[in-house]
Amino acid sequence: MVYCNKGSLADVLENTDISIDENFKLSFASDIVQGLHFLSNSPMKQHGNLKSSNCVVDSHWTCKLTDFGLVEFKKNEEMEDDIDENTVCRKLLWTAPEILRQKTATPSTEGDVYAFGIILQEIILRTGPFSSLLEIVEPRDLIQSVRFGVVPKVRPSVPMSSCKEQMLKLMKSCWDEDPLKRPTIPKIKSELKQISGGRISNIIDNMISMMEKYANNLEELVHNRTLLLEEEKHKTEQLLGQMLPRSVAEQLKKGQQVEAEYFDEVSIYFSDIVGFTKLASESTPLEVR
């Protein structure tokens, strides 16, 4: 057992303080498929309860599967009378239609693929499952529509601009009404590898890349701020040179004490501009300057 201090995938996706780019999303999806691939080759064969709250993220940002198995043990856990129907139906949003139609839910690999397709929608949009539909219908009505296979089929709404076309096609194929038309887990794994450019995204490499970009941006920002500082310093020196004799200004800039100078003879020049007093009283400081 490993403590995953980042919480569930649902928690991470809902946290707007965490920046998740395309590589992060691909990495999460790939991790889930790796887990499903492992389960499909084990005696367990399938997860049976896959949802974003059952995918947990550890300190290395690796997404891991939990809460699988124990089907008989959990079979009647939601049969209590005091549980609201909508609350129960919210937990079924990841359940495949053919399983919803069964009197006794029987887990299947095809059902896991359907659930993975719903999780893909969550990862891409960073919203809950069927988020746009749940704004206008109750969860129980939505589940009923999925169960009875109403036409057009009730599925999450995902804009085409929100992800790559190949990812969109993969997601929609995962939640196909016909379980036999859904892609196999090895097929999904292969598709994700193609989408990522021929390799499975490594979250650590991605984080290092992000840190390098941040460092480069920070260096450019410091350079720009330094130029602004030098420009302001130059303006200050110019203003100081206009207000004081150059020798006095230079001593002040160097932090030296200005020594009083003695002259045997000096000339003082007085001048006046006719009408300046009235003009200055009617003008702003910038206009007088």
Domain boundaries, the chain: 9-71+84-201, 208-264
The amino acid sitting at 151 is: V
Mean pLDDT, all residues of the chain? 85
**pLDDT tier at 179 (50, 70, 90 boundaries)?**
very high
Tens-digit pLDDT profile for residues 78-94? 555 557 888 889 999 99
Distance CA 256, CA 251 (A): 5
Tokens 């590589």 -> residue? 23
Distance CA 113, CA 188 (A): 9
**pLDDT tier at 252 (50, 70, 90 boundaries)?**
confident
- Is the predicted pLDDT of residue 76 greater than 80, yes or no? no
C-alpha distance across the termini of the chain, in Å:
75
Note the pTM of the prediction, 2 decimals. 0.68
Residue 141 sits at the vertex; the CA angle it makes with 139 and 146, to the nearest 5 degrees, is 95
DSSP state of 8: B
**pLDDT tier at 144 (50, 70, 90 boundaries)?**
very high
CATH tag, 9-71+84-201: 1.10.510.10
Distance CA 201, CA 188 (A): 15
Q: Note the pLDDT of residue 246.
A: 81
Tens-digit pLDDT profile for residues 187-225? 999 999 888 876 555 556 666 666 777 777 788 888 888
- Is the predicted pLDDT of residue 2 greater than 60, yes or no? yes
Instruction: Report the range of poorest mean pLDDT among 109-118, 180-189, 199-208, 252-261.
Output: 199-208
Q: Is the distance from CB of 33 to CB of 170 less than 8 angstroms?
A: no
Q: Note the pLDDT of residue 207.
A: 64
